[in-house]
Structure 1
Amino acid sequence: MYKDWNRRPFSPNQRILADFIPKNEQRVLYMTEQEIANELGLSIASVSRFWKAAGFKHAKDFKNRLRFRFESTPSEKMRDVMQRTGSGSLPQKLLEISSHHLEETSRYLNDALLQRAVEALSEARQIYVYSPGPCAGLAELMAYRMARFGITIKRMAPSGHELLETLMHAGKKDVVLAFGFVQLLPETEVILDYAREAGYVVILITDRLVFPRSYDADIVLYAGRGEVWEFHSMVGPTYIIENLILGVGLLSKEHSLRKLDKLQQLRARYGSKLPRS
């Protein structure tokens, strides 16, 4: 819903609305135009004109789309994929969807930000990864690959107070890489809050171009996964993670190659005694 809002020629007042609405979706759903105008110190005419400027017919049209997003369930997302595939080739359709997500991710990938993230990871005393839900596989991939460079990654608990058991150790010279998909979780909010006191660097990987509290992260990387009501692919986030892994390896090329050569030597020496997992 908000993918092109950063590129639309909004007026200053419309830009205020474009910043407010994504951060207050559930409130906006039940607010009148007058209530929105009063809270932001704008005229009701400015609010009324905003919807068309943002690509909607009127406030009701926007709220219907927003309500549909909130009501989207896993079954609705799967049904959407099935309907889009129809009687056609599933592999071909998934390839088209994946290609779209990769193109979108690449379009918004800022080389300078990516390099900053690579340097932060390379220089970190300790890297922590917050990877709730389906992001767990991305953390596993990152930990496995980075271990080959001699870099250890600590994964944080996905929810609840157990997160604090790891977060309490994060401080200056550390990096916390957090995945923030669809909505702002309380755990992500805690990570962003505590960063101001502890001094660690926060790298946020998100699938929302306008994500709540993203301004509190040091580095924000966007990964396309489709709209909220669509089946969410992990192709885009995987692309980001592999860029980070390879970037770290290239930044310390000689050190990385020595580690990989050592791995190959050990494989040649003990490979016959150890089964491949």
Structure 2
Amino acid sequence: MLAALAACSPLKLVDRVTPSDSYRLTAGVAYGPDPRQMLDIYQPLKPLPDHPVVVFFYGGTWNSGSRQQYRFVGEALASQGIVAVVADYRLYPQVRYPAFLKDNAAAVAWAYRHIGEYGGNPQRFFLMGHSSGAYNAAMLALDPRWLAAEGLTPAILHGWIGLAGPYDFLPIENPEAKPVFFAPHEPPDSQPINHLSASAPPALLIAANSDSLVNPQRNTHQLAGRLRALGVPVQDFYYDRINHVTLVGSLAKPLRWLAPVLPDVVAFVGAGLPASSSRP
């Protein structure tokens, strides 16, 4: 399985081995007029009155990805009693920064206002993302401009979860990301690290020590430290047996032995407002 994940279509392989009998899917819900402004909702099979909600944004350097490729994330969360929302958003070259953040905010606003119809509790509402999707989640949680455009504030969030996220990456080195942020004229306000405050929602930050794409020390470790210094509840975990890709891959049922990412997420979501902690 690990060897196959290193091949050209790891997401297709993970999708093939993802169970389809552990959730109820409502697919292709529009939250805006563009074909990319759609989301999928994964409901737990056992109905409860108080399901927490996680809106997930996938990675792909803001130029690739689709919600259908992340059924394994929806399945993982729904199988643990969480209503999961996996949202598409417009990508480069159709849009550049900050248009995709406006899409993210619109998806969150739709979910917040409608998720009760799908068994979710908007009072237990979380954002989550991997890689560039973790950046998106961070920006919505830390920079109030984006949710404000939808008549909301980050105060609606019970917390947010970043998996291998880039939070401080100027000047941009990745050639695929450069045009997204107008390099070499990248706006400083595009960086999550520049939007920290004591009122920020609690955070769960997870990274791979061997991540060669997004430096875990500069990004996850630095962000956790600065948030913690402001008194924001933060948990930051770092694992040795995973890399940038297998970190999110470990949410898939056959790969959960790689790292306890899913239990970490479930504990954070279930705990509500967690106490500050870190794992060596």
TM-score clears 0.5: no
- The answer to which structure, 1 or 2, has the higher relative contact order (CA under 8 A, 6+ apart) is 1
Higher helix share: 1
- TM-score, scaled relative to structure 1: 0.35
- TM-score, scaled relative to structure 2: 0.34
